[in-house]
Structure formats: C-alpha cells, structure tokens
Amino acid sequence: MMGKIQLNPGDTFTLSKTVSESDVYLFAGITGDFHPNHVNEAYMKESVYGTRIVHGALGVGFISAASSVALDHQSLRAVSAGYDHIRFIRAILIGDTITVKYTVESKDEEAMKTVADVQILNSKGEVCTVAKHIAKYFED
C-alpha cells in the first residue's frame, strides 16, 4: 500500500533570508554568470534599477530551499519534478531580506505529486518572483 502525502492544499511554509553580496558573487562563481547586471555597480548605477540585481536563477535556488522546508514536513521522500510559469516580476536587490512563501495548491495521491504556488517577496512585501513547483513523492 502506498503512503499518503501528508501535505494538503493550503499548507504554507516560509523561508526568509537577507541576500548578501557574497551570495551573488558565490553564485556567479559557481555558474560563471558574471554579467554586469549582477557584479558591476557602476554599470548598473545608470540603469532603471540604480544598483546591481540578484540573479533570477539564484532566486529559483531560494525557492528550492523553501520546497525542502515544506517537503521535510511529511514522511514520504520527494524530489523536485520541476518548476512551471517562473516569472521575474520585480528585481531582487542585494541587501533585500526576501521571504519565500510556498503554498501547496493541489495534491494528486494517485500520481504521487503536489503542486505549490510559490512567491518571493522583497523587504517591502512586493512580489519579485512567482512559480509553480511540482514535487514527486516515492516510497523506499
């Protein structure tokens, strides 16, 4: 008999973090993405943002961390089956304290998966990033 997914629609988990300059440079080093948008303050000073912005993909990494928080709250093992509809609504700035809000939207016991609505909010409570996260569950 298959185990039951213990997360339910409406269950919400959050993760907060202040995004530092070192986070951005470490991510740039790991990925090789040293675009001036992220690492050149003088270049970005004259932009609409007025300062460097955090890599969108780093934001997705924070979403992954929030999904781990959510998935740790039940007994079945799960892996990420991907992200849909990722949108970068507003830039995350270095120094922003972000909050990732991970809300289970639906679950399918037969397919052993959940879909979550995810948002990254900045220090002002503004939505920066949105996505749908799909988790696939399995038993040992």
| Cβ–Cβ under 8 Å, residues 63 and 135 | no
Tell me the C-alpha distance between 51 and 66, whole Å: 26
Nearest Cα neighbor of 78 from 43, 114, 49, 104 is 114
Q: Which residues of the chain are modeled with pLDDT < 50?
A: 1
pLDDT of residue 76: 84
User: Running DSSP on this structure, what letter comes out for residue 91?
Assistant: P
pLDDT of residue 140: 66
pLDDT of residue 73: 80
pTM across the whole model: 0.92
Residues whose CB is less than 8 angstroms from the CB of residue 52 and which lie 6 or more positions away in sequence, other chains included: 24, 37, 38, 39, 40, 41, 44, 93, 94
pLDDT of residue 39: 97
pLDDT of residue 2: 61
Tell me the C-alpha distance between 43 and 50, whole Å: 9
Give the chain's domains with CATH numbers.
Answer: 12-138 (3.10.129.10)
**C-alpha to C-alpha distances, 45 to 52, 78, 137, nearest whole angstrom:** 8, 43, 45
pLDDT of residue 75: 81
The string of pLDDT tens digits covering residues 97-107 is 999 999 999 99
pLDDT of residue 1: 43
pLDDT of residue 34: 97
Q: What are phi and psi of 58, to 5 degrees?
A: -65, -40
